Structure 1
Amino acid sequence: MKQITFAPRHHQLTNINTWTPDSQWLVFDVRPSGASFTGATIERVNVETGEVETIYTATQGAHVGVVTVHPTEEKYVFIHGPQNPDERWQYDFHHRQGVIVQNARASNLDALDITEPYTPGALRGGSHVHVFSPDGDKVSFTYNDHVLHERDPGLDLRNVGVAVPFGPVTPAGNHPREYAGSHWCVLVSRTTPAPAPGSDEINRAYEEGWVGNGRLAFIGDTLALSGEKVPELFIVDLPTDEQGWKQAGEAPLAGTPDMMPSPPAGVQQRRLTFTHSRRYPGLVSVPRHWVRSNPQGTEIAFLMRDDAGVVQLWLIAAEGGEPRQLTHNATDIQSAFNWHPSGAALGFVLENRLALCDSATGAIVFLTDDNPTHQPSADAVVFSPDGKKIAWMAPAAGFRQLWLANTGR
């Protein structure tokens, strides 16, 4: 175990894809906490030498954060807040965008069009946590809608979207806050403000993860017959060609003044878990986690309580079926998790230590001690692409620093 950043400031890792493809650099932002959004730079640190480089610096009062890396290129994507924010337009869930930086050049990922007629392929609000697909061709994100938020914040439901390289998309620019984007963007989840209790309807789609290159899994909030919120696991199959991404279904891709943007034709979400009758129903919200598929795209991992109420790691086939409880720990898993690039293990925080879990047997090997002054953050536990190292955040001298351990794999 070694500390790799030492500057007297905070360092924030995203929950996945924080390494450059050569496993030499970790990318991060400098938010003072995961909940705030006041950092001005995207940076990277060499894990061998400790050298720090700035990838991007925001200007005109904007802030940036939540950076991830392309799987095979030195290409970075992150959240960018509004430039020249004012009382009517400042950073919020529905006021943010994705920006890609490659070779020191920045470009907007998603276009924005908030005036009728809305532009297909553009968004009408804010995108968040941008993650490249395993082949680097597409980018997933979560989304909130400015148009519906202005009408009634209760209609601005969190959804999941995908950006594909079939742009550029250039709105007419009828509002000073509109802009063009390099990618064609659509939503792929379907939500409704009032799900029918006991049904597969959801009012929130979030914490998505790629399943191979052609599917996305995510958490969707259903309602039990009692009216209680129960987060369940869902999956969508994505279009396979440009025509499929651009073909509207029964509702407009760009939405209407009364309706959220709709998925392309043929994109249907399918429910994978049915936990309403369990003693502890639903995927857990604490710790916050993102559902993750193994590299082979055959199994999806998520966190759920066992019958004793302990947060455990569970696996389910991407095609569906009964979930399999992988871990049988005495205490809760404490963090988000990720798969080792081989698919043979997963990493997370357990008993205030970094743990490596065998994906077949659930056997646990600890990679760090239980020093209470260096307790790992729950936000991110991320393997290097070569599988030899694992990174996380922990405090040191009053600041959140980046730490590293060898996996032995």
Structure 2
Amino acid sequence: MTAMTSSRLYFLGVALSLAACGPSKTVETNMNLKEYQLTSDAKGHYLNQRQAFSPDDQWLVYDNRNEGSHIGLNPSVEMVNIANGKVKQIYSAPNTNEFGPGVGAIAFNPKRNEIIFIHGLSNYDANNPYDFTRRTALAVDLGKNNQLIRKDARDVVPPFTPGALRGGTHAHSYSGDGSWISFTYNDDVIAELFKTDSSKKDLRNIGVMIDKGPVAVASETAESFDGTMFSVIVSETTESPRPGSDEIEKAYEEGWVGTNGYVKADGIRVSKALAFLGDTRDANGQLVAEVFVVDLDTDLTMADPDRPLEGTTTSRPFPPAGVRQRRLTYTADRKYPGVQGPRQWLRSLPDGSMVFFPMKDKDGVVQVHAVSPSGGDTRQITHNGFSLDTSFSVSADGKYLAYGYNQDVYLTNIQTDETSKVSPDRSYDSTDLDNINWSNEGHVLAYNRKLVTADGAWYQVFILK
């Protein structure tokens, strides 16, 4: 931590504790905290929406996209030192072109010097470009000369292999102990089947990679290959959810519940769990996104009878035995039903007692709400006169939410619901505030701004101390 930091940290806690509580609990005051621009090259520096900080909080990782949707066009990932702005390239894909391979969405392991990111398949061309079903998880061990590690095995040729997937993984996130990895998933086998059978749709799901590998496939090719971890799908989707039921047609935007799971109402601890969004259909058949949870404290290598982990030629992979998703929110009767607002991977308190999500209040303003992973009533956390327009991040001590509105960074005290603006006034032209990350120790916020210059507008990395 540099000298420029220490004089600023005290004010963050004091200013929030002194914030007056108005009708909306929003305090439009600037705390005069210091913002620093870490990158400046005329290219993208796109942070992940979580786990961007190294375990020691000295580095931030990012990819070189300049548009959030351009992973397929991006060739490289880098890291920048938050004390001196030194940039290091971590990985650059060889032979890149407009079809792939595609690299991005990089995250740091919270416990060791390892990063993970999306990497498209190696046999990319005009007929087989980077796509949802054609990507995998590539890790880099920064402590071993940037050794490359393929995490998820893939097998698209029947008979399929338990522990291997048949599609693409995305939005990888380490569990609190750094041992497991969550991801969203699209199945290539079903996507191909859809071309001849429209009743079989490639529905997004969520899964986990666990430390039960390695997994070897029968024959390695560009489409099928070994992996170091055992992968399973833990959600279950259906093409036609029954109206008014808990069935879903999409599982997405998952987040780990707590750094060490959560404690159920009966006092029993669930060691690992994922909260996620599930698209339901209300009684009138309208799409409503709700919050779900799946407990993972069981042997994930075991399958139910007639429900193979690896799936079949006509079915998606099935969740392990004893793993069943559970619905937490029921919002269809609200004036503004369902999870709504900026794209948000779900977050929770460090102790796992609350899961946070965005939803409109009775006035149509997007606020942060929360629900227990055990279920029950929801609680509105923010009471602002504006709709947050970025994703949000939770501090390591579980006291604050950080998010953006109108290019400014705001903090909300989770206990008091009081909100304060913390970013300083800007002397530069910028847009697209996004990807707010709280450091592991909680002393620094990192985020993207697209800085407008005479030569163009580029995503740059900023920190607030």
TM over 0.5: yes
Aligned match for 1:344, one of 385, 388, 399: 399
- Alpha carbons of structure 1 residues 329 and 370: separation in structure 2 relative to 1, 3 Å: farther
Question: Superposed, which structure 2 residues align to 1:250-261 within 5 Å?
Answer: 250=305, 251-261=307-317
Distance in 1 of aligned mates of 2:127 and 2:323: 35
Aligned match for 1:33, one of 39, 56, 67: 67
Question: Superposed, which structure 2 residues align to 1:49-68 within 5 Å?
Answer: 49-61=84-96, 62-68=101-107
Q: How many angstroms does 1:175 deviate by?
A: 5.3
Partner of 2:367: helix, strand, or coil?
A: strand
Cα pair 1:233 1:272 within 8 Å, conserved: yes
Partner of 1:192: helix, strand, or coil?
A: coil
Partner of 1:400: helix, strand, or coil?
A: strand
Aligned match for 2:356, one of 301, 305, 315: 301
Q: How many angstroms does 1:151 deviate by?
A: 0.8
1:47 aligns with 2:47: no
Match of 1:218 in 2: 276
1:280 aligns with 2:336: yes
Question: Superposed, which structure 2 residues align to 1:343-382 within 5 Å?
Answer: 343-369=398-424, 371=426, 373-378=429-434, 380-382=435-437
Aligned match for 2:120, one of 81, 99, 102: 81
Distance in 1 of aligned mates of 2:342 and 2:211: 34
Distance in 1 of aligned mates of 2:246 and 2:77: 39
In structure 1, what residue type is equivalent to 2:77? Answer: I
Cα pair 1:195 1:223 within 8 Å, conserved: yes
Partner of 1:245: helix, strand, or coil?
A: coil
Q: What is the aligned length?
A: 401
Distance in 2 of aligned mates of 1:350 and 1:217: 25
Bigger CA radius of gyration: 2
| Cα shift readout 1:239-292 (whole Å, capped 9, x = no counterpart) | 34xxx11100241100011111011000010000000110000001x3111110
Distance in 2 of aligned mates of 1:192 and 1:21: 39
Query: Which stretch shifts more, 130-139 or 171-180?
Result: 171-180
Cα pair 1:345 1:359 within 8 Å, conserved: yes
Q: How many angstroms does 1:374 deviate by?
A: 3.0
Aligned match for 2:240, one of 185, 194, 199: 194
1:161 aligns with 2:221: no
Match of 2:22 in 1: none
1:391 aligns with 2:446: yes
Distance in 2 of aligned mates of 1:399 and 1:60: 24
Distance in 2 of aligned mates of 1:57 and 1:36: 16
Distance in 1 of aligned mates of 2:58 and 2:336: 42
Match of 2:136 in 1: 97
Q: How many angstroms does 1:376 deviate by?
A: 4.8
1:180 aligns with 2:239: no
1:317 aligns with 2:356: no
In structure 2, what residue type is equivalent to 1:79? Answer: I
Q: How many angstroms does 1:360 deviate by?
A: 0.7
Query: Which stretch shifts more, 53-62 or 121-130?
Result: 53-62
In structure 1, what residue type is equivalent to 2:464? Answer: A
- Alpha carbons of structure 1 residues 389 and 174: separation in structure 2 relative to 1, 3 Å: closer
Distance in 2 of aligned mates of 1:30 and 1:305: 33
Question: Superposed, which structure 2 residues align to 1:223-242 within 5 Å?
Answer: 223-240=281-298
Match of 1:138 in 2: 180
Match of 2:170 in 1: 128
Q: How many angstroms does 1:305 deviate by?
A: 0.2
Query: Which stretch shifts more, 75-84 or 138-147?
Result: 75-84
Identity %: 39
Cα pair 2:220 2:226 within 8 Å, conserved: no
| Cα shift readout 1:71-96 (whole Å, capped 9, x = no counterpart) | 11110000001224124432100000
| Cα shift readout 1:340-365 (whole Å, capped 9, x = no counterpart) | 00000011002431011101111112
Distance in 1 of aligned mates of 2:129 and 2:410: 40
| Cα shift readout 1:210-265 (whole Å, capped 9, x = no counterpart) | 0034100000000011111000000000034xxx1110024110001111101100
- Alpha carbons of structure 1 residues 276 and 236: separation in structure 2 relative to 1, 3 Å: same
Match of 2:320 in 1: 264
Cα pair 1:114 1:175 within 8 Å, conserved: no
In structure 2, what residue type is equivalent to 1:75? Answer: E
Distance in 2 of aligned mates of 1:48 and 1:221: 43
Partner of 2:46: helix, strand, or coil?
A: coil
Cα pair 1:60 1:84 within 8 Å, conserved: no
- Alpha carbons of structure 1 residues 174 and 20: separation in structure 2 relative to 1, 3 Å: closer
In structure 2, what residue type is equivalent to 1:9? Answer: K
Query: Which stretch shifts more, 52-61 or 164-173?
Result: 52-61
Unaligned runs of 5+ in 1: none
Aligned match for 1:71, one of 102, 106, 110: 110
1:9 aligns with 2:43: yes
Q: How many angstroms does 1:176 deviate by?
A: 4.4
Distance in 1 of aligned mates of 2:149 and 2:290: 35
Distance in 1 of aligned mates of 2:222 and 2:60: 36
Distance in 2 of aligned mates of 1:281 and 1:79: 33
- Alpha carbons of structure 1 residues 315 and 370: separation in structure 2 relative to 1, 3 Å: farther
Distance in 2 of aligned mates of 1:109 and 1:197: 38
Partner of 2:317: helix, strand, or coil?
A: coil
Cα pair 1:353 1:375 within 8 Å, conserved: no
In structure 2, what residue type is equivalent to 1:24? Answer: Q
Cα pair 2:356 2:368 within 8 Å, conserved: yes
Distance in 2 of aligned mates of 1:352 and 1:30: 21
| Cα shift readout 1:35-65 (whole Å, capped 9, x = no counterpart) | 0121211110001111000111212432211
CA RMSD of aligned residues (A): 1.4
Partner of 1:377: helix, strand, or coil?
A: strand
Partner of 1:140: helix, strand, or coil?
A: strand
1:117 aligns with 2:159: yes
Distance in 2 of aligned mates of 1:312 and 1:155: 33
